[in-house]
A = this chain, B = another copy of it.
Amino acid sequence: MARFVMEFERPLVELEEKLAELKALDVASLPDLAAEIEDLEREVERLRDTLYAALSPWERVQVSRHPERPKTDDYLSALFTDVVELKGDRAYGDDEAIMAALATLDGRRVVVIGHRKGRTTKENVRRNFGSPHPEGFRKARRAMLLAAKFGLPVVTLLDTAGAYPGLEDEERGQAWAIAECLATLSDLPVPVVVVGIGEGGSGGALAIGFGDRLIMLENAYYSVISPEMCAMILYKDTARAAESASALALTADDLVRLGIADEIVPEPPGGAHRDPAPVIAAVGSRISAALDVLSGTDSARLQHERYERLRAIGVFDESAG
């Protein structure tokens, strides 16, 4: 499989390709080649540093969507054991765009809920590219209630472009399914740890996307609206998504600054797909650390603190009415 190249990486990739070409030539027959290769290598190095040193918000969005980026399935197989999937909403269908499971992390039994993008086209079609239908949210809610009933902490993994805006989805109550998730999650009597591993697209992410801790990967985003749709509204031009991405304050850094996210898991230069294993491992230990702290808290206090945490979000001025 050819490496997937993100738009902003193109200059670097072109240079890297040129370098590879030179290296393929016969050094012995070309006296200046060695020096030229050395120069180019330095230049590639320099460009790589500047390119990846401080990604722009829009570049991070692209990284978060990289097809080789580690996905819910990767975290599940690397970090969790004894996984038993919970399927279906007991009313209409089983939505493969959201997975729910009983699973064990470092010896701790939890319920995992995550958006599930596919790795292959076939998988992605079955999973609707990770965009849930109402029954996906209803399955998630069933899993939350099961966790509550049996005192299991909930771990959620966010990676969706958003809830699917289809005709039948509207008819089957997409808004209702999301709202009920929000209400249930807000008052769940067990610890809830959320990890933004990739895309955090609006209401479809939020439905399983808040709790007692929010851990963001460095290049994951979480946004009220996609940069493209925002650009469409602001400029009638999706090509201006980069500007929108900056305006929306959707990066992990922004979320910490706004008091919404708690911590950031660093990624290797260029993104988690460059070297997934340490990123996945770090996520595992951050989740465990968060659960270690939260497990000591009784449920009434958890519910109270989660409410206060939400209650504090919002910035406004207040004068005597």
Interface of A with B (CB < 8 Å)?
90-92, 134, 138, 172-173, 176-177
Contact = CB atoms under 8 A, between A and B. Distances in A.
Copies of this chain: 2
Tell me what chain A mostly uses at the interface: helix, strand, loop, or mixed: loop
A177 B89 CA distance: 12
A176 to B, nearest CB: 5
Contacts of A134: 91
Contacts of A92: 91-92, 172-173
A134 to B, nearest CB: 7
Contacts of A177: 91
Nearest to A177: B91
A82 to B, nearest CB: 27
A37 to B, nearest CB: 64
B172 A90 contact: no
A134 B92 CA distance: 10
Contact of A173 (B91, B138, B173, B176): B91
9 contacts: A90-B173, A90-B176, A91-B92, A91-B173, A91-B176, A91-B177, A92-B92, A92-B172, A92-B173
A203 B176 CA distance: 29
A172 B173 CA distance: 15
Given A91-B134, A91-B138, A92-B173, 5 more contacts: A90-B173, A91-B91, A91-B92, A91-B173, A91-B176
Most buried by B among A91, A138, A172, A173: A91
